[in-house]
């Protein structure tokens, strides 16, 4: 087969980060995506690079609202009735993992990646200025009262107890509104987290794809991989066109569609679509860093074009389902009272993306049953935040620079 080659399935943040790091090690790379670059959960993501908030999905508070609440179309966590039977096994496993003890265990393991997340982004920026990120003076979280703030404070203190110190300070009503005059009067307590960064992920991933291509990588879009077959000394991916591409190794990084290809490779841990929604509105001049409205489950990110991305929701349904406009309306209804100065009539760029979620809140990173096929996915809401560090870890593993045991917590065969 000549020079060592790798096919990466998926042109999102994780797939392209893996491709970039493999190129750093002299590997010939081909990236294949069924739709296009950043066409999955990368494009409309909030784009927060915030280790302090990179927490496992199996938070016990997710279940605290009760099962009935998840059946309402305007609920921050929504499970349509027609999806419930198909997801029964996943939801049962998710419930078992949503205890304080299991959540803390997942948190400790996720910290293995999140503590290196910003450094991995800095490494990309050092090699190409187009991949620089934006510094946030502070990520501000705003609440109706101090009691509402307690849960986030508890999570940050839990991070500190396991050795991940987060710099933050509490804001009373006056200091909150002095620092964030765009906020409405119903918010009386806040918390400012420093040392975080952010990006416009769709724009960033496209730049990363450009860099991979400029360094000799092939990027094939509009072709779906239907299966992966073993070959003599490597693997072949079969495309829906009937064509086959061969390589020494294959990395499955195709997001919420990962299980379709990974299950035949022995990966039993299921990845499902936790769909998130976003749109943009005009950004207030005073809002220059990410804003978090935890009680509304809404994240706001200022974009370079003078608009504000408003993102939220966790919707468990098929990744191929169309955008549900009720979810966009629900986000606006939750956020608009807290941002009264925004022209909500100028709503643009409505988007839905399928975030790949696992029941234990941990990604899948490592080798499958086939020694030539690897998996990188299942990051839930944190594929953008953890993409570069995950890509670096995968390249190190595949090139013999990292022991498999160092990624045992994320073993795809667990």
* Cα distances (Å, whole numbers) of residue 292 to 53, 96, 192: 10, 28, 10
Q: Write down the pLDDT at residue 248.
A: 97
Distance in angstroms (rounded) separating the CA atoms of residues 48 and 302: 11
Confidence of residue 78 (pLDDT cuts 50, 70, 90): confident
* Listed range (88-102, 185-199, 247-261, 387-401) with the worst mean pLDDT: 88-102
Distance in angstroms (rounded) separating the CA atoms of residues 288 and 304: 10
Q: Write down the pLDDT at residue 284.
A: 97
Q: Write down the pLDDT at residue 68.
A: 52
Confidence of residue 73 (pLDDT cuts 50, 70, 90): low
β-strands 272-282, 298-302 pairing? unpaired
Summarised one tens digit per residue, pLDDT across range 306-354 is 999 999 999 999 999 999 999 999 999 999 999 999 999 999 999 999 9
Distance in angstroms (rounded) separating the CA atoms of residues 326 and 332: 10
Q: Is 221 exposed, middle or buried (0-12, 13-18, 19+ CB in 10 A)?
A: middle
Q: Write down the pLDDT at residue 91.
A: 87
Q: Write down the pLDDT at residue 86.
A: 81
β-strands 197-198, 189-193 pairing? unpaired
Q: What is the mean pLDDT of residues 221-229?
A: 97
Q: What is the mean pLDDT of residues 71-79?
A: 66
Q: Please answer whether residues 255 and 41 qualify as being in contact, where contact means their C-beta atoms are separated by less than 8 angstroms.
A: yes
* Listed range (80-94, 196-210, 226-240, 249-263) with the worst mean pLDDT: 80-94
Q: Write down the pLDDT at residue 77.
A: 75
Confidence of residue 85 (pLDDT cuts 50, 70, 90): confident
Summarised one tens digit per residue, pLDDT across range 143-202 is 999 999 999 999 999 999 999 989 999 999 999 999 999 999 999 999 999 999 999 999
Helix (H) or strand (E) holding 401: none
Distance in angstroms (rounded) separating the CA atoms of residues 179 and 185: 14
Q: Write down the pLDDT at residue 2.
A: 52
Whether residue 397 has pLDDT greater than 50:
yes
CB atoms within 10 A of CB 270: 18
Whether residue 80 has pLDDT greater than 90:
no
Confidence of residue 142 (pLDDT cuts 50, 70, 90): very high
Q: Write down the pLDDT at residue 1.
A: 43
Whether residue 64 has pLDDT greater than 90:
no
Q: Write down the pLDDT at residue 367.
A: 98
Sheet arrangement for strand 197-198: 48-49, 197-198, 134-135
Confidence of residue 383 (pLDDT cuts 50, 70, 90): very high
């Amino acid at each position: 087969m000549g020079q060592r080659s790798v096919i990466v399935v998926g042109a999102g943040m994780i797939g392209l980060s893996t491709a970039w790091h493999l190129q750093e090690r002299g590997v010939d790379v081909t990236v294949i995506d069924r739709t296009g670059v950043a066409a999955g959960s990368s494009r409309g993501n909030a784009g927060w690079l915030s280790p302090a908030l990179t927490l496992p999905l199996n938070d016990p508070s997710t279940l605290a609202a009760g099962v009935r609440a998840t059946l309402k179309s305007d609920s921050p966590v929504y499970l349509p009735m027609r999806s419930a039977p198909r997801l029964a096994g996943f939801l049962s496993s998710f419930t078992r993992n949503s205890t304080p003890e299991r959540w803390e265990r997942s948190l400790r393991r996720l910290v293995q990646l999140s503590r290196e997340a910003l450094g991995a982004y800095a490494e990309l920026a050092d090699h190409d200025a187009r991949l620089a990120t934006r510094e946030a003076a502070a990520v501000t979280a705003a609440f109706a009262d101090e009691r509402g703030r307690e849960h986030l404070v508890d999570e940050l203190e839990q991070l500190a107890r396991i050795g991940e110190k987060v710099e933050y300070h509490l804001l009373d009503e006056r200091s909150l509104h002095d620092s964030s005059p765009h906020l409405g009067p119903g918010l009386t307590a806040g918390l400012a987290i420093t040392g975080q960064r952010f990006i416009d992920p769709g724009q960033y991933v496209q730049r990363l794809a450009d860099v991979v291509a400029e360094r000799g990588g092939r990027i094939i879009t509009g072709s779906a991989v239907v299966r992966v077959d073993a070959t003599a000394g490597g693997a072949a991916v079969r495309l829906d066109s009937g064509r086959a591409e061969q390589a020494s190794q294959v990395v499955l990084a195709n997001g919420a569609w990962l299980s379709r290809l990974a299950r035949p490779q022995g990966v039993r841990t299921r990845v499902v679509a936790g769909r998130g929604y976003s749109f943009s509105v005009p950004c207030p001049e005073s809002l220059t860093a990410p804003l978090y409205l935890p009680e509304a489950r809404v994240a706001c990110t200022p974009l370079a074009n003078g608009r504000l991305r408003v993102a939220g929701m966790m919707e468990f349904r098929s990744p191929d389902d169309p955008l549900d406009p009720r979810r966009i309306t629900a986000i606006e209804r939750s956020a608009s009272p807290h941002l009264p100065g925004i022209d909500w009539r100028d709503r643009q760029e409505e988007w839905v993306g399928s975030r790949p979620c696992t029941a234990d809140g941990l990604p899948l990173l490592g080798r499958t049953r086939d020694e030539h096929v690897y998996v990188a996915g299942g990051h839930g809401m944190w594929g953008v935040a953890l993409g570069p560090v995950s890509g670096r870890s995968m390249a190190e593993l595949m090139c013999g620079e990292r022991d498999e045991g160092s990624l045992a917590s994320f073993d795809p065969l667990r």
